[in-house]
Amino acid sequence: MSPSRQPAAFTDGRALLDALTLDVVGRRREIEIVVAALAGSRHVLLEGPPGTGKSTLLRSVAHRCGVPFEFVEGNAELTPARLVGAHDPARVLSEGYGPSTFVPGPLAVALHEGGLLYLEEINRIPEETLNVLVTVMSEGELHVPRVGRIAASPGFRLVAAMNPFDAVGTARISAAIYDRTCRIAMGYQSAADEAEIVGRAVAPYTEAEDVGASGRRWRQRVVELVRATREHPEVRVGSSVRGAVDCEILALELGLIRARPPRQRSVALDAAVSALSGRIRLYEGSSRTPESVIEELYDRIFPADDDTDDTDAGDGTGNDDDVGDDRDDGEREAGAAGKAPAPFPAEARRDGA
Ligand SMILES: Nc1ncnc2c1ncn2[C@@H]1O[C@H](COP(=O)(O)OP(=O)(O)OP(=O)(O)O)[C@@H](O)[C@H]1O
Ligand SMILES: [Mg+2]
């Protein structure tokens, strides 16, 4: 494919860059590399643990780059015929084989239209199907029996994502695929970015746009708890940022059901254990349970209930000191009673949330 024949959307890398920055929290470096790779007609592979924003970034690329895209979910049932396309048996019976009986699959469509072929979970795709891609990626064309050659129109590129630790139903993708792609390793994001991601996900569940300083502080601790699961000596795989999102939303909803502040230990610990215990994987032979690990980390990170009301939470910068962390249980319960469970007032739940 000649670099001089770029479709319009890719020549304006700056506009695409700005658009991606709106959808994706942080990840500036990765966004720049993706845009550069696509502008240079390279295929791209994003590789990283769950919840690190691979799909978020690729979905944004697909929607914002201004070219057609074909989405393919990688799984064991993705046969070459499902990826490439196949002849319609009924029409073959009446008309005989020919180009008109061919029903193009996502690969044929993307090649024909010069679009993006967006492959999720590429390492779940059977090797036989991946082999079809190998030729297409380097030669820019596909040969279909009784149809002939389908050449890649300018703009055809492949973007793929995979989680290398995903051990069930997956295989390592071949060196041939790696040799035809630019790889971007996606590690866990910074604590600040994870807090921002949680904030965006939780926003529909809170009435106030700004959860206030104490709400932000609590969110930072939830993120800290989730990040601590990745460092715990007994934990092989820690939780993704999805765990932090679930923890905060669950605490909010549970607080409403129990008519207690969502940040009170009697609510937040249940939320944390439920949100995180299934997401962590302990080392083989560990004598611990996932629940006990989460409770241990919870007690380390939330030394006492933080039921500070937002209204007295200071300057809104999130820098003000914690209030009440050193009170005993009785005082905490008393302090919580009768207070709005800031930052999630009881009436905050929105319909359908
Ligand atoms: N950088 C980010 N910007 C905005 N949202 C993000 C970001 N990273 C993660 N998220 C959010 O976190 C969740 C998980 O992200 P995403 O699905 O993109 O992860 P992934 O790397 O594709 O995970 P998996 O390997 O499990 O498919 C999504 O709800 C997404 O909205
Ligand atoms: Mg994904």
- The CATH number that applies at residue 340 is 1.10.8.80
What is the atom index within ligand 1 of the atom nearest the CA of 166?
Answer: 25
Residues 168 and 236 in one domain: no
Residues 39 and 74 in one domain: yes
pLDDT of residue 316: 34
- Determine the distance separating the centroid of ligand 2 and the alpha carbon of 120, expressed in angstroms: 7
Phi/psi for 159 (5° steps) reads: -120, 135
Of 135, 165, 185, which residue sits at a domain end?
A: 185
Residues 154 and 24 in one domain: yes
Residue 284 included in any domain:
yes
Residues 179 and 288 in one domain: no
Residue 83's nearest CA partner among 94, 92, 95, 74 is 74
Of 124, 150, 185, which residue sits at a domain end?
A: 185
pLDDT of residue 168: 53
Which of 55, 56, 240 should be mutated for ligand 1, with most atoms under 8 A from CB?
Answer: 56
pTM of the model: 0.81
Does residue 142 sit in helix, strand or coil? strand
Residues 152 and 273 in one domain: no
Cβ–Cβ < 8 Å for 81, 146: no
Q: Which domain holds residue 213?
A: 191-348
Phi/psi for 250 (5° steps) reads: -65, -40
Residue 334 included in any domain:
yes
- Determine the distance separating the centroid of ligand 1 and the alpha carbon of 127, expressed in angstroms: 26
Of 157, 185, 213, which residue sits at a domain end?
A: 185
pLDDT of residue 11: 54
Residue 125 included in any domain:
yes
| Run of H or E residues at 18 | helix 13-23
- Determine the distance separating the centroid of ligand 2 and the alpha carbon of 160, expressed in angstroms: 10
Residue 227 included in any domain:
yes
Q: Residues near ligand 1 with C-beta < 6 Å?
A: 24-27, 48, 50-56, 161, 163, 197, 201, 241-242
Residue 92 included in any domain:
yes
- Determine the distance separating the centroid of ligand 2 and the alpha carbon of 56, expressed in angstroms: 7
- Determine the distance separating the centroid of ligand 1 and the alpha carbon of 248, expressed in angstroms: 16
Q: Which ligand is nearest to the CA of 52?
A: 1
- Determine the distance separating the centroid of ligand 2 and the alpha carbon of 60, expressed in angstroms: 12
| Run of H or E residues at 85 | strand 85-87
**Residue for token digits 């030669």?**
139
Residue 16 included in any domain:
yes
The per-residue DSSP string of 153-192 comes to PTT-EEEEEE-TT--TT--PPPHHHHTTSEEEE--PPPHH
Residues 206 and 259 in one domain: yes
Upper half-sphere CA count for residue 60 (Cβ side, 13 Å): 21
For every one of its 353 residues, what pLDDT tens digit does the chain have, with 9 covering 90 and above?
444 444 445 556 788 888 899 999 999 999 999 999 988 889 999 999 999 999 999 889 888 888 888 999 999 999 999 999 999 999 999 988 888 899 999 999 999 999 999 999 999 999 999 999 998 998 899 999 888 999 999 889 999 999 876 655 555 678 899 999 999 999 999 999 999 999 999 999 887 777 788 889 999 999 999 999 999 999 999 999 999 999 999 999 999 999 999 999 999 999 999 999 999 999 999 999 999 999 999 999 997 755 544 433 333 333 333 333 333 333 333 333 333 333 333 333 333 33
pLDDT of residue 308: 46
Which of 197, 249, 281 should be mutated for ligand 1, with most atoms under 8 A from CB?
Answer: 197
- The CATH number that applies at residue 50 is 3.40.50.300
Residues 163 and 32 in one domain: yes
Residues 165 and 200 in one domain: no
Residues 63 and 162 in one domain: yes
DSSP state of 283: P
Residues 169 and 197 in one domain: no
Residue 353 included in any domain:
no
Round to whole Å and give the CA distance between 42 and 13.
14
Please tell me the residue having the least CA distance from ligand 1 atom 6. 53
What's the number of domains the chain is made of?
2
pLDDT of residue 181: 95
Residues 126 and 262 in one domain: no
Residues 52 and 198 in one domain: no
